[in-house]
Structure 1
Amino acid sequence: MKIKKSYLLIIIFALIISCSNPSTNPDNNNNQNTSSSIKAVTSGVHTIQYGRQTSEIDVTDEAQLKTLWITLVSGKTVYKSSDYSSVSGKFDAEGNYYDSTDTVNIRTKIIKCAVYEYNNKKYLAAVYWDNKNTGMPSSYRLIIADEKGIEQAWYGGGSDESVIPNANTQWTKYDFVFGYLKEY
């Protein structure tokens, strides 16, 4: 009888201890290992992904990073869905983006390029200033084009165009895909 009571007490204590430990929600944005988090890669030579392509590059070589991004997006059409049936906009030769509804005025202007780690992979990223996002807390966008041609995007950096985001900028992922590149 004593042995049964001892086992019962051990089980009860084990349940109390296991139930008292809070679980970690993997989708919590404060958890740095989530699928939406992104982290700046600020030094070293790394193999980076941009669209279907990869390159080994010194991540501090901003001119080369921008050249790679321009090569990826220059003159490319961006589609609203993966069936490529509806156009949302187009990049010009300098990497600026224009909405399909306004082909004269730049919607988002390219500011700089950098390397960011997303889902355990290093990607070429471009920072854009959104000219039509006036009055919002953040007008900067961080965009990558993954290996499937999907534009993943984050917002952050504030609403002052003269304060350019850096490696310490906190980025928040959009809960929708920005666009799809057919040629990437």
Structure 2
Amino acid sequence: MLPRAFPSLGGLIVLAFGLFKNGPPPAHTGGFGEPTCRECHFDADLNQPGGAVAITGAPDRYTEGRTYELAVTLRRAGMLRGGFQLAARFADGDSLGRPAGSVARIDARTAVVWDTITHVGYIEHTALGSGVSNATARWTIRWTAPADPRGAVVFHVAANAANDDESPLGDFIYTTSLQVPAARR
């Protein structure tokens, strides 16, 4: 009988986690019961002190059909790579959890992926967009508000402050959300 070669568990982990340089699978923002990046990068508790993720550029109230430029900023000392995933969904009412408007990339640092079951569009980092400068990763995206506003919109984002060793260990996951009501008519 010939000996069988079994890859080590460590090798499988590195292989599996190295595949997410272009972003995680859809539905990892932490919103509406979704998991976060911590599902795979599980070494540290969620939202550890020393880092943060923020969403900026959103209006106080959105206007139907208008396009806004938003930024996702991740900060953590020692971070060598960064990643994120964001979704925009209705925050309440009959449309709770459904897609609210659309997200779009501005450059090659981000990409949009779709959940084919929920029809939610997720915008996330690409390999090109995982670079960090001065312990900060920043991505700029476009969000077009829903043409038929059905209430407040909530943005959920999960982000990975990674140590770039292509393993699930030594990374820090941060989440935040931002709710924006529709403009008064």
Which bin holds the TM-score, normalised by the shorter protein?
A: 0.3 to 0.5
Larger Rg: 1
TM-score under structure 1 length normalisation: 0.32
TM-score under structure 2 length normalisation: 0.32
Which has the bigger relative contact order, CA under 8 A and spacing at least 6? 2
